Chains A and B, each alone.
Chain A
């Protein structure tokens, strides 16, 4: 993991002091609401249903045991003992007091953490694949580059007041676990024909009201130009992105308006002047950062572990957990394990302070004191010895962290929705729980196989419903909670945006409607076809009929609704 030096610490401490004074002035009436809003947003504070919502950065999803214990302490001391891990490597607290946030920031600073730029119209937290550095497939480790961009984007004076938020992702492998195409700017690590390391650069992706997948703006960017090229893109966006309409202000709208070729030309014209400037990365700097992510001291272990194999055979529950929640590791004798935050009856992504403390302990006992936060709202222990997995599983199971459903229909990704979020049209959490209850049987889930289900409470799409195989979007119909059903989304390398299949469905009807969709898949699938594959082969009609019946007399209603969407 990256270790802070004195300068990193000083910058974070100075930020705490700055924000403490800003908060004091606001509370004393010296700053207006309008003046204070962008300042608090850039320190992670939204005003939500119950008061402030506070978003703490977990840069590229890496958190140490020590840091996680601090998060637990803060969750317990300043909130009600439950934190929410979001889809973007952040921890969100819903019950904090504004006047206490400077103190929370001071506590965070003690463990090299902060809430810098976790919100607001600026460069946000960088996202990466949770298996970065341990995946056997990756072209190169994305973490050093994410850290380099973290530093470059932190308090970058030119890009603090962008037209809109700006999200950057790095993916290290061919499978794109970071979903670069749904980010404003995505860097996919690749090697050119000569073996040189660089990035395929994607731009203009994003979900929300106008979902668009990113396009390639540069097929190959040698690694040393990472920062100057990013600067050129941000400058073109800062100067030319729309500022007259917040819904058209993301970079994707600019890229669409100009066309990717013209956008690329403008970026290149800007880059001309920046290329090879002092911000060009040096071998020394790349090496200095990469050294922080060097392999921990792995033991030399055999590829197979007899006790692990034996436990799998003896305990079917354990075997199910291994099949779903355990991932191959590049080092023999090790595995990565997903700690599910999707226990039935719990809000997806929520963890109690006690769970955080337990995970911190487990990361020390079964790893190198490091935990990852995944975009799927789960936690990951990246370096577990095979022989320890059985013991780990038993401890996780007792703490409701071993739900063996990763990648299954019950591994629902959901935004906080109407229970917490002031923007919501409908709630997400009770719906997620109802669907989990409907598909509680693990054998049924296994039979269904890989199925991503995502829920957003409004068209801001924080639950990424457009890229779920099944996506649910909350809409408000005369004060009632309804949900639009989107099918055909996918993420990662096969990314695609789903489309709405029919009229929105009342909340009580949703689980049964999904059951009909799933049954249709099970009826029609060919061997080895996943839900998404069958959907792509058959098209929407078959599923629409399954969901709504053959005589769909509500289709007019549906037309009207999408026209307003």
Chain B
């Protein structure tokens, strides 16, 4: 079973990240056994299936967003998800940082926010700052050490709504 970082711990992870193969459609793709993160299109096509499965069988589900997905599309549904994933197809594609920021600061998502894809220890500190708290990441033991590469930050971010200048004693 894969290991991920979750709230600063390394844990076994039983979630499946569903992706659509070329001949799959959101309407017909088979949902795997166990907890599943589905793409936005599957969530939009199969809301009832997913909610019923959870109700009947207790199978948790969540949604993952790709870099061009608009987080506003799930803003009204956030309470339904146990996990929201954000995919980084390439670590140099930084859209996921803004998507995470929006989910946390604008849409008020409080649940698990998981970074997926091509991410490593050299990204984890920034991922943490924009609001991720779970990371399906290469070499999680090593990555854990980089969570706190910096002990202070100038600007506000999802994990610290106040910029440094509002946290100084004199203000």
Whether B94 contacts A160 by the Cβ 8 Å rule is: yes
Q: Interface readout for B38-76 with A: 1 if CB under 8 Å, 0 if not?
A: 000000000000000000000000000000000000000
Cα of A168 to Cα of B163 in the assembled complex, Å: 20
Given contacts A158-B98, A160-B97, A285-B165, contact A14 B149 (CB under 8 A): yes
Taking the closest CB of chain A, its distance from the CB of B31, in whole angstroms, is 30
Instruction: Find B152's partner among A10, A38, A159, A284 (CB 8 Å cutoff).
Output: A10
Whether A158 contacts B101 by the Cβ 8 Å rule is: yes
With a 10 A CB-CB cut-off, give which of A158, A238, A285 has the most chain B CB atoms: A158
Whether B98 contacts A22 by the Cβ 8 Å rule is: no
Whether A243 contacts B93 by the Cβ 8 Å rule is: yes
Cα of A15 to Cα of B150 in the assembled complex, Å: 8
Taking the closest CB of chain A, its distance from the CB of B1, in whole angstroms, is 25
Question: Which A residues touch B149, using CB under 8 A?
Answer: 14, 17-18
Whether A239 contacts B98 by the Cβ 8 Å rule is: yes
A245 at the A/B interface (Cβ < 8 Å)? no
A278 at the A/B interface (Cβ < 8 Å)? yes
Residues of B111-158 contacting chain A, CB below 8 A: 120, 122, 125-127, 129-130, 146, 149-157
Whether B171 contacts A282 by the Cβ 8 Å rule is: yes
Taking the closest CB of chain A, its distance from the CB of B42, in whole angstroms, is 22
Cα of A239 to Cα of B67 in the assembled complex, Å: 8
Taking the closest CB of chain B, its distance from the CB of A255, in whole angstroms, is 18
Closest B residue to A241 by beta carbon equals B95
A152 at the A/B interface (Cβ < 8 Å)? yes
Q: Interface readout for A156-184 with B: 1 if CB under 8 Å, 0 if not?
A: 11111110000000000000000000000
B interface SS class: loop
Chain A contact-residue range equals: 35 or more
Whether A160 contacts B126 by the Cβ 8 Å rule is: yes
Whether B170 contacts A157 by the Cβ 8 Å rule is: no
Whether B155 contacts A151 by the Cβ 8 Å rule is: yes
B166 at the A/B interface (Cβ < 8 Å)? yes
Taking the closest CB of chain A, its distance from the CB of B148, in whole angstroms, is 9
Whether A154 contacts B165 by the Cβ 8 Å rule is: no
Question: Which A residues touch B157, using CB under 8 A?
Answer: 156-158
Given contacts A151-B154, A161-B92, A161-B94, 19 further A-B contacts (CB under 8 A): A10-B151, A14-B149, A22-B122, A35-B120, A35-B122, A38-B92, A39-B122, A151-B164, A157-B125, A157-B126, A157-B129, A158-B94, A158-B130, A159-B94, A161-B91, A238-B94, A278-B162, A284-B171, A285-B166
A residues with a Cβ closer than 8 A to B are: 7, 10-11, 14-15, 17-18, 22, 31, 35, 38-39, 121, 151-152, 154-162, 227, 235, 238-239, 243, 273, 277-279, 281-282, 284-285, 288
> Can you list the 8 inter-chain pairs with the closest CB atoms, starting with the nearest?
A161-B94, A157-B126, A157-B129, A285-B165, A151-B154, A158-B97, A18-B149, A238-B98
A-B contacts, 29 of them at CB < 8 A, read A11-B150, A11-B152, A11-B154, A14-B150, A14-B151, A15-B150, A18-B146, A18-B149, A22-B122, A35-B120, A155-B150, A156-B154, A157-B97, A157-B125, A157-B126, A157-B130, A158-B101, A158-B126, A158-B130, A158-B157, A161-B91, A162-B94, A235-B101, A238-B94, A239-B98, A243-B93, A279-B156, A282-B171, A284-B171
